[in-house]
């Protein structure tokens, strides 16, 4: 069988989490063959980092399923991506009787107060939160641990795990029985990556956080699960990896290619829908192109 692998054009970006509109080729957020079935009709969903990559696809699919969608983005590098995401989500919302989506400017590394402000804005707009997707992340390529500065380490943990905890802490106050929290981890949480030590460490922390909070919230009827993707073509990769790694991105997967954001989004829909995944909590789905992980 011939390999499906194709190299990506050489490219790089200077700021994280990266600009989707500058990527070549553009990530694919939609799949015209997907058939929605009102799995999230009338629900309120908040997605961090929803302007691009995996987050944008998740927002779009949630709107296809009838959810009222809010997402966060970072000012400056993501302004255009946020506008593009809003237009895409708005189109899906109109077709499926969902409310007007909202984009919330936020820098989640600022801590608990910033996370609470995001939650408060969503509740002010929609009245509650039924689904929280913790998805925003940064990663920094370093070949030696000696090159990881304290500032980098703090930023990585503040965005990749601290914000997840703070968002859950405040969102759950506005959740009822049947609600869902979904955390984005990574295959690297299970297999590691020698050039992404601090990033992989935060993704491992997300796994433990998900399993622990899932147990704690059983009594409240709130499920906590996660998705641990393999190599997915998103702005984060172009903004953080050296060009030679970008060109061969996805080669490490058994399917011999990078995944696209639209290939992950149905996993989030499944976990968000109480009708589909009511007996799952503390668990992870692994859309990773055949990578072997000890899950």
User: And the tokens for 282?
Assistant: 């503390």
Catalytic residues: 199
The DSSP secondary-structure symbol of 232 reads B
Could you give the CA distance from residue 75 to residue 282 in angstroms, rounded to a whole number?
Answer: 33
User: And the tokens for 56?
Assistant: 């944008």
- Characterise 85 by phi-psi region: left (phi > 0), alpha (psi -120 to 50), beta (else): alpha
Other C-beta atoms closer than 10 Å to the C-beta of 24 total 9
Residue tagged 């943990």 (tokens)? 157
What SS3 class is residue 93?
helix
Could you give the CA distance from residue 99 to residue 212 in angstroms, rounded to a whole number?
Answer: 33
């Amino acid at each position: 069988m011939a390999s499906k692998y194709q190299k990506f054009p050489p490219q790089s970006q200077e700021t994280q989490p990266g600009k989707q509109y500058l990527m070549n080729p553009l990530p694919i957020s939609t799949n015209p063959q997907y058939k929605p079935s009102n799995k999230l009709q009338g629900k309120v969903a908040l997605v961090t980092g929803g302007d691009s990559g995996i987050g944008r696809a998740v927002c779009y699919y949630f709107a296809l399923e009838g959810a009222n969608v809010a997402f966060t983005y970072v000012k400056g590098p993501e302004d255009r991506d946020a506008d593009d995401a809003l237009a895409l989500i708005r189109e899906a919302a109109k077709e499926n009787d969902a409310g007007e989506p909202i984009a919330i400017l936020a820098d989640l590394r600022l801590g608990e107060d910033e996370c609470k402000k995001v939650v408060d804005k969503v509740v002010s707009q929609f009245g509650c939160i039924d689904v929280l997707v913790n998805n925003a992340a940064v990663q920094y390529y370093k070949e030696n641990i000696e090159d990881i500065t304290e500032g980098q380490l703090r930023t990585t943990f503040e965005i990749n795990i601290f914000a997840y905890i703070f968002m859950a802490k405040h969102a759950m106050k506005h959740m009822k029985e049947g609600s869902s929290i979904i955390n984005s981890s990574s295959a690297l949480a299970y297999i590691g990556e020698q050039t992404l030590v601090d990033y992989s460490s935060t993704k491992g922390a997300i796994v433990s956080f998900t399993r622990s909070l899932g147990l704690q919230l059983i009594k409240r009827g709130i499920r906590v699960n996660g998705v641990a993707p393999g190599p997915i073509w998103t702005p984060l990769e172009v903004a953080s990896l050296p060009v030679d790694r970008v060109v061969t991105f996805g080669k490490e997967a058994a399917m011999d290619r990078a995944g696209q954001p639209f290939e992950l989004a149905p996993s989030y829909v499944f976990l968000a829908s109480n009708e589909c995944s009511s007996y799952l909590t503390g668990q992870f789905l692994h859309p990773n192109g055949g990578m072997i992980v000890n899950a």
